[in-house]
Amino acid sequence: MAWLRRLWMLWEALFRKLAGVRPLRNDGGEYLFLLATRPYVGKPFLVDGVTVKKHDLVAELHMNNEMIVHVFAEGHGMVGLSKRLLDAGRLSLPVVAERMQDPEFEGVEVVYGISFVHRVAEAFGFHTFPMNNPFIRAVTTWYLRILFQVVNPNGRKFIKRDPDMFVPRVIAISKQHLIERYGR
């Protein structure tokens, strides 16, 4: 499985480059998230009083899967992993809020992503929505389940035990609410 993990990390690096996904900072910090900006292409949705429509500029929040692989490799078990990822989220969200104030993100009103960890995201102030497009939902579910199995040695077992837990949802928060909650 180590070879598959290495191959996947090469794919991740290529995807990040092609999709313009960048680290929060280049300061050597181990942040849970990566960012990209792009025009939104899905159906309209409302979050924190902001309506996001097709072609609106949004900030996409991506999980730092390389960091997650390293955390799994440390071998602290699921409880240790959960604690480490929650701590990384608490460290990372103020940096996301800070970055949203950079000129690069002028015109962005919403930060959004697609994730399995939507229950945790809600605790961090994000809203969650089902994915509307059945085809995109199916492809994303397939992709994220494979990713979970690559980064987690016990991933297949968890997915078989509770497949409904591994259905991705859209997570979103307005830039204003993010800055109010996590800005320094």
pLDDT at position 61: 96
The pLDDT tens digits for 84-139 are 888 989 999 999 999 999 999 999 999 999 887 777 888 899 999 998 888 988 88
pLDDT digits (tens, 9 = 90+) for 59-89: 999 988 788 777 776 766 667 777 888 898 9
Helix (H) or strand (E) holding 129: strand 127-129
Q: Which residue has the higher pLDDT, 172 or 163?
A: 172
DSSP state of 105: G
Mean local confidence (pLDDT), 34-52: 95
Residue 19 token pair: 């999709």
Cβ-contact 121, 65 below 8 angstroms: no
Mean per-residue pLDDT over the chain, rounded: 87
pTM value is 0.86
The single residue listed with the structure tokens 């859209």 is 170
> Residue 33: pLDDT above 90?
yes
